[in-house]
Amino acid sequence: MQLTLYTDYSLRVLVYLAQTHGESATITEIADFYRISRNHLVKVVHNLGNEGLIITTRGKHGGMRLARDPEAIAIGEVVRRTEPNFNLVECFDPQKKNNCVITASCSLKNMLYQANKAFLDLLDAYTLADVTAGKVDLPAALPALPGNTPRNTGKHGKVIPIAKVD
């Protein structure tokens, strides 16, 4: 199973916002920090706002922040709200014509369904707070790129720590 880039970016936005401790951040700030397309983030942020995961404010002093405490945002919830579907195989999608000739006698469909459910159940056990619990200073963790330095300061010049990956 592979999550879409859309879900990846959604999680990155939420991780960033969780580490601003209630301060607003901008799309440009997050795009610069992660070195990803601002245009992609516009769509992601719009959806996160529609889903009630973030609060956005327009205007000169606008930006975005989490709509709930990080402890109240389950990773499974985010993945379910941002993934278009969980059709691991052709026979999972009721909208498509199923051309698999063994569907009626296949045990694999049930196994894959159980695996997918276990995956989401596990993600439900973790919150955004769990993801950001083991913070590490990003510039110290990443090697400097030639002619470029990692950007990890918020609009107020504060270092934004990123969750440590073990």
Q: Judging by beta carbons within 10 Å of its beta carbon (0-12, 13-18, 19+), is residue 38 exposed, middle or buried?
A: middle
- Split at pLDDT 50, 70, 90, the class of 141 is very low
**Contact (Cβ atoms closer than 8 angstroms) between residue 153 and residue 159:** yes
Tokens at 46, concatenated:
């719009």
- Rounded to an integer, what distance in angstroms lies between the CA atom of residue 38 and that of residue 2? 23
Nearest CA to 160 out of 61, 4, 34, 27 is that of: 34
Tokens of 65: 């922040």
Please check the confidence at residue 144 and state whether its pLDDT lies above 90: no
Counting every residue written for the chain, the total comes to 166
pTM comes to 0.76
The pLDDT > 70 percentage for the chain reads 80
Asked which of 42-46, 117-121, 122-126, 133-137 is least confident by mean pLDDT, the reply is 133-137
> Residue 29: is it exposed, middle or buried by C-beta count within 10 angstroms (0-12/13-18/19+)?
buried
**Interatomic CA distance for residues 121 and 141, integer angstroms:** 31
Q: What distance in Å separates the CA atoms of residue 100 and residue 106, rounded to the nearest whole number?
A: 10
Tell me the one-letter amino acid at 16.
Y
| CATH architecture, domain defined by 5-84+127-163 | Orthogonal Bundle (1.10)
